[in-house]
Each structure stands twice: as structure tokens, then as C-alpha cells.
Chains A and B, each alone.
Chain A
Amino acid sequence: MKNRIEVGKPVGIEVSIAQSEVVAQCDVDVIAAYPITPQTHIVEHLAEIVADGDLDAAFIPVESEHSAMSACVGSSAVGARTFTATCSQGLALMHEILYIASGLRLPIVMSCVNRALSAPINIWGDQSDIMAERDTGWVQIFTENGQEVVDQTICAFRIAEDRRVMLPVIVNLDGFSMSHVIEPIRFYDTKQVRGFVGVYQPPLRLDPAQPMMFGPVGIPEIYTEAKKANDVALIESRQVIEEVWAAFAREFGNAYRALETYRTDDAEYLLLTVGGMSETASVAIDALREQGVKVGQVKLRLWRPFPHDDLAALLGKARGVFVFDRCLSTAGPGGPVASEVKTSLYNLRERPLVVGFIGGLGGRDVTVQQFADMVHKGIGYVAAGAAPVYEMVGVRE
């Protein structure tokens, strides 16, 4: 495949379009998808690339997301490199098939353009959709700008298809505030991308010439072991993920870690963020540092497998950790990220006070000032020695 986009220097391109271009560079065989805002541009553009004859792939326009993921399961099982994209209600509709994809160890790559869930109907960004799927057994990676979307999409195929992993991967990006933004993104030579991703060689595949059954019933005598095997595979994928990121850095220059840190040296307080709002929060960290506040930022890139030990090592010494969630666990123990951070820290002898903030729901903007306010408020709670279970940012009551 020729380079459709200029290589080597940043080009101004919509993040959605950039992701579909890089999926094509990764030489996928099958794309099965149903359009849903704000994911639409990704699949529309992929359909166009296929129709233009620039990508030799089957584009399967299905009638629902349930069918999209079902088609992905089938195509991946015959050994085709398979991609789909969705969000929100679409992801929710895929729910039951998500478990089947991971349970059958099918290396499907999916883009999730994070969006709120209805009701009320809301097409805008938050992370409620993906948080409802956290236990489905997929590798789940977050990004915070268009370059990361391109880079992580390339990595996703290599991670998923590694013999030691053989699990589906979700690449998350924020709906609208990332997906619909034109920004500078650097592309790589298609040949180099294809070389990096490699050729998908499934250890087992559905083949009429050698019939076999995928996904038969797992009776009580085997189900627990099957689930244990899935759990171990997902936990152990961490090592491969690190290897792939290291290889990516050598090949293409950009380095990635499960937890990214920003100005954390000597920080007494840490703000933990996930996804596209992390960059805005970094601007707040700079402003707070100028005021002499000893605060740093931790950005959670890898959501599954969850980096418990790294989190404990990184956050354990802080006085206060302020976690920003874009998802409400209704009447639960706080935002999903805050809950898991607390779990990682609980058994430490000394641990920071964890303060959970929930905001940015359904496309509500969160500003630099609001991130700075969260930090100040969090520091107040640390001084008082107690904090509410969680607090909603900017809510009118």
C-alpha cells in the first residue's frame, strides 16, 4: 500500500481520520462496524479507503453493534486481522460478545470513542461506556492526543496478536474533544508500520479443511480453569505490552508507559487523570507549580491489565492523591478509577488520602481552573484528614 498521507512531518488531520488511516496501514483484513456518533468518521473513512481500492479488506456494514462484534469474532477466528470501532450505546450493545471475543482469545482491535450513556440521550464525551466494560477481559489502553491514538493503534495489533497474549485490545479516545479535533500528527511509512505489526499467524483457526470447534460449552469442571487461564493471560500480557512499547520507541521514537508521570519528583500531592483531559490538567499542574504547590500528575494509560504494583509504588509515598473520573458509579464507592486506586493502596502500611472527583460527564467541559480547584480542595481534605467518598465537579444543585 502506498503512503496516503505525507510521512515524517506533522500533518494537520482530524484524529478520527488519522486513526482510520493508520488502521489501513496496519493491513487489516476485515472491518465490521456500525456507525455511531462520535465514532462515525472512523468507519466512514475506512469504508472510503477500502472503496478507493487502497486497502484490500472486507468492509462489512452490519445492522447493529451486536452483529459488528459477532462478525469480528467470526472473522478473527478464521485468522483475519480484524478491526472495529464503536462507543456508548453501541459498546453496551456489544457487551455479551465482548466476553466471547476475549474468552475465545481472539486478537480483535477496537477503537472506543468514549461517550456518555443514555438516558438522558447524550452524544458527548465521557468514559461511562468503557468503564461498564472493564471486566470483559480485553486489554484496555487510553490515549490523550491524536499522536497517541495513531501510535497505540499500531501497538494494539502487535500486542493483540502476540502468541503470548492472543487477546482483544481496546484503544480509547475521548469523543469529540479528541475524535473531532484537527491537530498535528506524524505518520510513519506504511512499509515500516507493516513490518512492525508483522503478519498475523494464529496458533489455531477455523478452517473447513481442518474442522474444529471454537467455544464449546464449559461445564463446571472446566469453566473455572478457563476463567483462570484468561485472567493469567491478561495479567501476563503486561510484559508483552511493555516489550511492544519499547520496540515502538526504538522504531518510531515515541515512548509509552502504563503510568505516565508529569512533574512528580518531590511532589507531595498527585493528580491522577485518564484520557484526553489529562493534557488540560497538565496545564493546571504547571500553574500550581508556579504558585509553589508541590503537586505532580499521574496519567493512567493502561486500564487493563490494571497496574496495581506500579500505582502503589508511585502513589504510596504521596500525602494526597486526587483522582479525576469521567464516570459515575451511581450510588457506588466513587468513580471506577478512584475505587481501583484505593484498592491498590489499601494494604500499604502508610498510604495517602485518596480524594475522588467526578466531572466531565456527557461532554461537560473541565477547565484548567477547575483542575487547579480540585487540587486545592484535595489539599484541604488532606489537612483535615478526611474526604467525602467522592465529589462531583461543577454540578448545579
Chain B
Amino acid sequence: MLEIRFHGRGGQGAVTSAELLAQAAIAEGRYAQAFPSFGPERRGAPVLAFARIDDHPIRLRQQIYEPDVAMVLEEALMKIVDVEAGMDERGLIIVNTMHTAAELRERYHLKPARRIWTVDASRIALEGLGRPITNTTMLGALINATQCVRLDSMKAPLDARFGKIAEKNFNVLKRAHDECCAGEAR
């Protein structure tokens, strides 16, 4: 089972991101859950969303405490939120940033063995959507890093959610998939 925690700010679409991912996995005939952190949500304040994906029916309904992946929709969140919380040494962090993994590791004192993928999702989203909303864009990097769903599987949930602007959202997602950087390399 893959457990993913999304770090965003209220209004950035972290919950939508988790939902779209779960819908794509379910459409592939697999099992998934997506849920928000059930607290009060305020625009601009740090929020969490969660997703589980598995090849077997998921019975677990407890919250996610030890995620395999942390998606960080905005780098600045790392100043105020411990995005590594609960992660073991195999845990993966995917960050929307202009910086390299090495720079992030140093700046935020991330664990030396931590796998860090980076993608400049804000720029991709600005260029492709005209707005720096990175929730769909970031899924591209997640799919490249984990292969948790097929890229094409994102099309139907995006269509259902975004209608006319679904294609633009898929394009930025695809671009992030192709342009994201693994580990130290940039």
C-alpha cells in the first residue's frame, strides 16, 4: 500500500489533488482512498490531505501517520511544517520549488538519506494555466517518481472535474512528469 500526504495551503487544492489521484487509481481497477484532514480549513493556512492506493481492498480508516510520500505544494510551507513527520528513511518528498534537492536538504535540515524530487510546478502552472495553482501539476511529478497510476489514467478524473480546462490541466501535469528532477540532480 502506498500512503501519500499532501501539504498545501487552504485554497491551493491539496484535497482535490488527493481526490483526483484516488479516482484515477480506482478507474484502473485498483483500490484507493482520499480524504482531507478533518480540521477547520482557512484560506492560506497550512492544510493536509491524504491518499492511499493499494492492489487490495483497503480497510484501514485511521489517519495516515507514516506516509511513504509527502507532496509539498509550496516550498515555503517547509519553514513552518515538518513535512518529514512520521516518515521512515525510505520516505520520499516531492517539492514544488525553484531550488535543487541539495539546496532544500541544507536549507530545511532534511535527513541525509531522504529521497527528494523537485519540480518547478509554479512556473509550469503559470505558463500552462495562467495561475500558480499547482495541485494538478504536482501529480505529474508524483506519477513519475512512484508510478502509482498511469499518466493517461488522470485524463478522465480531470475531465470530470475541470471540463473545458481539463486538457490544460493534463498538459501541465504531463510537463511536470517530464521535467521533474530526481534526488540530487537538477
Tell me which of A52-60, A179-187, A242-250, A340-348 binds B.
Answer: A179-187
What residues on B are CB-neighbors of A178 within 8 Å?
61
A206 to B35 CA separation, bound complex (whole angstroms): 44
Does B32 contact A276, Cβ atoms closer than 8 Å? Answer: no
What residues on B are CB-neighbors of A180 within 8 Å?
35-36, 38
A283 located at the interface, meaning its Cβ lies under 8 Å from any Cβ of chain B in the complex: yes
Contact of B59 among A13, A283, A366 (CB under 8 A): A283
**B50: min CB distance to chain A, Å:** 9
A-facing residues in B114-173 (Cβ within 8 Å):
157
Does A124 contact B38, Cβ atoms closer than 8 Å? Answer: yes
A178 to B35 CA separation, bound complex (whole angstroms): 9
What residues on B are CB-neighbors of A366 within 8 Å?
62
A3 located at the interface, meaning its Cβ lies under 8 Å from any Cβ of chain B in the complex: no
Q: Is chain B's interface secondary structure helix, strand, loop, or mixed overall?
A: mixed
**A275: min CB distance to chain B, Å:** 10
A-facing residues in B67-110 (Cβ within 8 Å):
none
B-facing residues in A333-390 (Cβ within 8 Å):
363, 365-368
B-facing residues in A8-35 (Cβ within 8 Å):
9-14
What residues on A are CB-neighbors of B26 within 8 Å?
10-12, 183-184
What residues on B are CB-neighbors of A368 within 8 Å?
60, 62
Contact of A182 among B34, B38, B65 (CB under 8 A): B34
Contact of A12 among B60, B61, B65, B157 (CB under 8 A): B157
What residues on B are CB-neighbors of A176 within 8 Å?
35, 38
A177 to B52 CA separation, bound complex (whole angstroms): 14
**A11: min CB distance to chain B, Å:** 7
Name B37's closest neighbour in chain A (CB-CB). A176
What residues on A are CB-neighbors of B34 within 8 Å?
12, 181-183
Does B36 contact A280, Cβ atoms closer than 8 Å? Answer: no
B181 located at the interface, meaning its Cβ lies under 8 Å from any Cβ of chain A in the complex: no
What residues on B are CB-neighbors of A177 within 8 Å?
35, 38, 61
Does B38 contact A280, Cβ atoms closer than 8 Å? Answer: no
**A126: min CB distance to chain B, Å:** 12
A207 to B18 CA separation, bound complex (whole angstroms): 51
Contact with A along B28-52 (1 / 0, CB 8 A): 0101111110100000000000000
By Cβ-Cβ distance, the 6 closest A-B pairs, closest first, are A12-B23, A12-B26, A279-B59, A182-B34, A176-B38, A184-B26
Task: Other than A12-B34, A180-B38, give 8 A-B pairs with Cβ distance below 8 A.
Answer: A11-B26, A177-B35, A180-B35, A183-B32, A276-B61, A277-B61, A283-B59, A367-B65
A-B contact pairs, 20 of them (CB 8 A): A12-B19, A12-B22, A12-B24, A12-B25, A12-B34, A12-B157, A177-B38, A180-B35, A180-B36, A180-B38, A182-B22, A183-B22, A183-B33, A183-B34, A184-B31, A279-B59, A280-B61, A365-B62, A365-B63, A367-B62
